[in-house]
Every structure is written in structure tokens, then in C-alpha cells.
Amino acid sequence: MLYYLFTYLHEAYDLPGAGLFQYLSFRSAMAIITSLLISALFGKKIIRILQKAQIGESIRDLGLEGQMQKKGTPTMGGLIILGSILIPALLFGELLNIYIILMLVTTIWLGLVGFADDYIKVFKKNKKGLEGKLKILGQVMLGLFVGAVIYFHPDIVIREKVLDENSQPIKKVVVEEGEFKEIFITRDIKSTKVNIPFFKNNEFDYSKLLWFMDSKAKDRAWIVVIFAVIIIVTAVSNGANMTDGLDGLAAGTSASMGITLGVLAYLSGNFIFADYLSIMYIPHTGELVVFMSAVIGALIGFLWYNSYPAQVFMGDTGSLSIGGIIAVYSVLIRKELLIPILCGIFLVESLSVMMQVGYFKYTKRKFGEGRRIFKMAPLHHHYQVKGYPEPKIVTRFWIIGILLAVVTIVTLKIR
């Protein structure tokens, strides 16, 4: 909103300082500052409201040290995160940008799904919350919508250099400020390509998965794109949900992922950096940096109240929406194949649950009694049972998350 207001004031009245809103760096800085202030100033008030409404976390005794001390801690703290994201994004983002629209839809939609789950757990006293099928349905619907928009919307394109018959970029001469300069001739195209790590050309086309369709592969690639987005959204949002089991764990690891994605969005949305790194240049994705700045500020601000010992839990309201944001953001900047590295914490937490459940069922059928791989799943509870203090587990997971974030950025040059 402020972007359009100050753009008008700058163009119509040449208002001093109004031109700052044209710069991504300024609006990103304002977004992160605003989100931090919102979470810091209003976080305590929201926690008090949740306490008065007796919206406390229902703790099931799992025999973990210090666990029952958390009984009665307010949940639905994801409301703090959502407010701290949406308000700065609406104030400083370019709201007509299709990428910003998709991120707003993602945040609100999965926030509502998570809120419904928390509401059923807290107010209906149903510990299972929203039925698993309905939760998955909500994630699938979002993935279907986002995938369809990515493939069919005319503004979602990549910009590539025009090549001659020898596969060399074609240049043209232009006059800038009285000087002759050579620039590359480019064109915007619809594409199903994504960046892939460790390979020389750094690109993979989803249509190649339909090799058996021959000439029809390009036309049917939307099937693969939409299916991939559904899988990614579902997997990452559920992974974030499983990671949210210790004070500050999900928020801290998600913040490092957010910073990395913000850097990748800036590089992909800048023609000079994209050309230097030999990655796809995606017009208009630079605006996503503003949105991610709000997300980072919201997560760091939430940690003020969620760090050990937590004054509030984010609940599914926060974890599902944060996971969805990371998933959709990665897809929009065409870096989804980096998710297994960047979201390694989410991946390991999810795998630990699947391995534990699968092995337990298998051994129960074969030996008559269920056996376990881990002392408890998800993985962070395994270390709790082993006697590790909660802050130590969280800190070490943060360190691993930061290491994975660095590796993710490094993959841009390792091929």
C-alpha cells in the first residue's frame, strides 16, 4: 500500500524521500523492522489474550524431562507470526505482483488450516485436532492452485539470452548517456525449468520426465509441475509441523532457511548476478525479498517469546504456514530441488517419524511385538530421552540448519 502511495507522491509532487520506496533494499529493511516491532510490541498482548481465553497447550505425558512444566503454556502463537508477516507485506510490498499475491494466499490459507487444527484441539478438547485427511486436502488444494498459476499465468516467466545458430548469445549496440554499449538480446518465455544443484548446466526441465510422450511432453508438462508443487507443499509444511516440538526449534531453523531463500530470490531477480552465477533470471521475483524480510523479522521476533522456556507455542497456526511459505517461495524462485539440502532439518524429522512407524509396524507383524529404531520420534525427542538438555538440542539443530543454509548457497557455484 505504501509502495503505491509514495510512488504517486514521488511522481506527482516530487516529495523528498518518497523515491526511497522504489528501492527493494529500503522496503526490505522497513519490512523486517516493522515485523520485529509488531511481534515485540503486540506479542505480549496476544499472549495475555490467549492466557485469558485459556488457550493453553494440552500436554500428553511422554515421560520427558521438564515436559509437564509446559502444561498450560498458550498455543496459537502463530497468530503473532502471521500478523507480523502480513502487515509489513501489505504495507511495503508491490501488491499487484503475482509472486507477492501467491505468497499472501499461501500464508493466509495454511494459517487458516493450522488455526482450524489448533481450534479443534483447544476448544473442542480433541487432541487429534483436524482430521489428517482434511489437513492434507488443504495442502493439496494450495499446491494445485499455486502449480496452476505458475504454469498458466502470463507474468510468471524466465528471461533468457537469444542465441545464434552457433549457440552464442546475440548482442546489440545501444546508446546510454552518450556512450555506445553492447547488451545481450533477451526474451521472456514460459518454462518448466528449475535450477538443479551440482550439475554443469544447473537446469532441469520437468518436461523431460514425460520423455515417453515425445512431442507432446512440452504441452503436458503442467501435469508434472502441479504434481511436484503439491508434493513439495505437503512435505515441507508437514516437516515444519513435526519440527515444532521444542522451544525455539522450528522458529530458529526456519529463520535460517528464510534468510537463504531471501538471498536466492535477490540473486534470481537481478540480471547481473543471475548471469554471473549462470542461474535463471526470473523477472519480478526481487519483490519476494520484501516478503521474506517480513517473514524473517516475524520469526526472530517470535523467538523473543518462544525461546526456552517458551511463553507461547506457535501451534499448527504457525508451523503449517511457515512450512508452506518456505515451500511455495522455493518453487517460485525455481530452487525447489535445493529443498532436501536447505530443509534438511525438516527432512530428517519427517524421515525419523516414517522410519519409526514403518519399522514398528513391520516388526509387530513379523515378531509379534513392535520394535523401535529411535527411542522416540520425531528425532529431537530421541535426544531428549537420551538426556540432552532441551536448549542444547535446539542450539545444535540451529547450527546444523545454518550449515545446511551455507551449503545451499554454495551449490550455486559447485557444479
Report if residue 21 sits inside a domain.
Answer: no
- How far does Cα 102 stand from its chain's mean position? 12
Q: Report angle CA 72, 74, 79 to the nearest 5 degrees.
A: 165
The verdict on residue 55 lying in a domain is yes
pLDDT band for position 54 (50/70/90)? low
Q: How confident is the model over 134-177, as pLDDT tens digits?
A: 999 999 999 999 999 999 999 999 998 888 887 788 888 777 76
pLDDT in the model for residue 286:
92
pLDDT tens-place string over residues 73-111: 888 899 999 999 999 999 999 999 999 999 999 999 999
Q: Whole-angstrom Cα distance, residue 244 to residue 78?
A: 11
Q: How far is CA 320 from CA 64, 125, 248, 390, in A?
A: 25, 20, 15, 22
Asked whether residue 206 carries a pLDDT value surpassing 60, the answer given is yes
Whether omega before 309 lies within 30 degrees of 0, making that bond cis, reads yes
What is the DSSP annotation of 63-126?
Answer: --TT-GGGTT-B--THHHHHHHHHHHHHHHS-TT-HHHHHHHHHHHHHHHHHHHHHHHHHHS--
Ranking 11-15, 154-158, 307-311 by mean pLDDT, the lowest is: 11-15
Residue 67 is predicted with a pLDDT of 60
Q: What is the pLDDT of residue 165?
A: 81
pLDDT band at 68 (very low <50, low <70, confident <90, very high): low
Q: What is the per-residue pLDDT for 125?
A: 77
Answer whether residue 340 shows pLDDT above 90.
yes
Over range 329-347, report the average pLDDT: 96
Please check whether residue 122 lies inside any domain of the structure.
yes
Q: Which residues contact 59 (CB under 8 A, 6 or more apart)?
A: 67, 68, 70, 71
The predicted pLDDT at position 211 comes to: 83
2 in a structural domain = no
Is the separation of the CB atoms in 345 and 209 below 8 Å? no
Strand partners, 193: 205
Residue 264 placed within a domain: yes
> How many percent of the chain have pLDDT more than 90?
63
Which amino acid, 97? N
- The pLDDT-based confidence of 198 (bands split at 50, 70, 90) is confident
With CA atoms as reference, report the closest residue to 57 among 318, 315, 377, 384. Answer: 315
pLDDT at 178 over 90: no
Q: For 186-193, what is the mean pLDDT? A: 90
Number of domains in the chain: 1
| C-alpha–C-alpha distance, residues 293 and 250, integer Å | 17
User: Does residue 59 have a pLDDT over 60?
Assistant: no
pLDDT bracket for residue 57 (50, 70, 90): low
Which residue range is the domain that position 55 belongs to? 26-157+193-410
Crossing angle for the helix pair 78-92 and 288-306, nearest 10 degrees? 150
Sign of CA dihedral 120, 125, 131, 136: positive
- Measured CA to CA, the distance from residue 365 to residue 381 in angstroms comes to 25
For residue 182, being part of any structural domain is answered with: no
pLDDT tens for residues 26-43? 999 999 999 999 998 899
Q: Is the pLDDT of residue 327 over 60?
A: yes
Determine the Cα–Cα distance for residues 147 and 151; give it in Å rounded to an integer: 6
Flag whether 173 is in a domain: no
Residue 69: the pLDDT is 64
Contact in structure between 267 and 274 (CB atoms under 8 Å): yes
What's residue 138's pLDDT? 95
Query: 10 Å Cβ neighbour count for 309?
Result: 13
Q: What is the pLDDT of residue 265?
A: 96
- How confident is residue 55, by pLDDT bands cut at 50, 70 and 90? low
For residue 268, is it within any domain? yes
